[in-house]
Amino acid sequence: MSGPKRNVRGGSRGGASGGRFHVEFLYEDDELLAVDKPSGLPTISPEGSRSKSLYDIVSAHIQKRNPKGRAAVVQRLDRDTSGVIVFAKTARAKTALMSSWNESVGERIYVALVEGSLPSPEGVLDTWLSEVDPYRVRQAPAGSKGALRAITRYRVLGEGDGLSLVELSLETGRRHQIRVQLAEAGCPVTGDERYGSRRDPLGRLGLHATTIALDRPSDGAPVRVECPAPPGFAAALRGSTSSRAVRSAVDQPHGRKPAPESAGRGVPERGAPERHPPVDRTRAWPGGGPSARAERPGSGKEAGKREPKKRR
């Protein structure tokens, strides 16, 4: 069954605070809730921790209207990654999304501020990744035991001051996928000491989730939520190519014009995302389901498969 298409763009629809963090609510219906996660706030607190998490803040928001309600986690972002993230509001919605994540989620798009320059204006990072431990991932030989194929499309938005601003669309969902692939290409995400970054112009990890598009569990209606990257991402290029065009690309995820917001209603999407040839996405994390760290499909023209450059 199909329903009305919704295209919701950043701009607060309310918010809530938890400690030093303020969370903006971007989209909400009876089944789904999307928020702009601040950098530094964990999606879920580690076991044994008493620190506030995004899950706690979102659950408190839901319980204001339904005392028995609570958020249901269907995806995660790294603690230091910011941007749009979706929660389910009912057990039924969570089960539906978790059982068909790859079919339900149409695209996931990020913007990253990275060190250096990628070899071409746009292309595809196609590598194999292996988890060393719960906190670190490394590139592995193709087809090696325990390794998973990871595919990311990228498009360079601008360069300046030894940095590049890059838009990334994930075709697979592997832990730390963007961070590891960019580091192995010689362009680590700024502020990412774990994977070799030496610069931190933002005072945080230079990675922001700008877009998610998925089908609503109950009726399959497409929902698209966009959340522009903070202004500092483009400003870090210090003017050389941090032009109005670059800032516009960051403010308008994936080159789309802002969707008019009238009484909370969105507008139809324009076109459908281009798909990459099928790959195994069943092991995004132990037991299958969405990855706790990485995201998936986007659109854009494939510039051909290539072997990423080794880190310099």
The residues near 64 (Cβ < 8 Å, ≥ 6 apart) are none
Strand partners, 166: 112, 156
**What would the pLDDT profile of 146-169 be if each residue is shown by its tens digit?**
899 999 999 999 999 999 999 999
Residue 283: the pLDDT is 32
Rounded Cα–Cα distance for residues 296 and 105 (Å): 8
* Catalytically annotated residues: 78
- pLDDT at residue 186, rounded to an integer: 97
Comparison of pLDDT for 238 and 127, the residue scoring more:
127
Q: Is 253 helix (H, G, I), strand (E, B) or coil?
A: helix
Q: Hunting for tokens 């065009």 — which residue is that?
A: 245
Domains and CATH numbers, the chain: 6-255 (3.30.2350.10)
Please give the Cα distance from 51 to 45 (Å, whole number): 6
More confident residue, 165 or 283: 165
Higher pLDDT, 3 or 172: 172
**One-letter amino acid identity for 68?**
K
Which residues, 6 or more positions from 258, have their beta carbon under 8 angstroms from its beta carbon?
A: 9, 252
Instruction: Determine if residue 196 is left, alpha or beta; phi over 0 gives left, psi from -120 to 50 gives alpha, anything else beta.
Output: left
Provide the 3-class DSSP secondary structure of residue 250. Answer: helix
Residue among 204, 196, 254, 192 nearest 232 (CA): 204
For 243-268, how does the pLDDT look when each residue is reduced to its tens digit (9 = 90+)?
Answer: 455 766 666 655 444 333 322 333 33
d(CA 44, CA 136): 18
**Degrees to nearest 5, angle at CA 161 with 156 and 166:** 20
Please compute the mean of the pLDDT values over residues 3-10 and round it to a whole number: 52
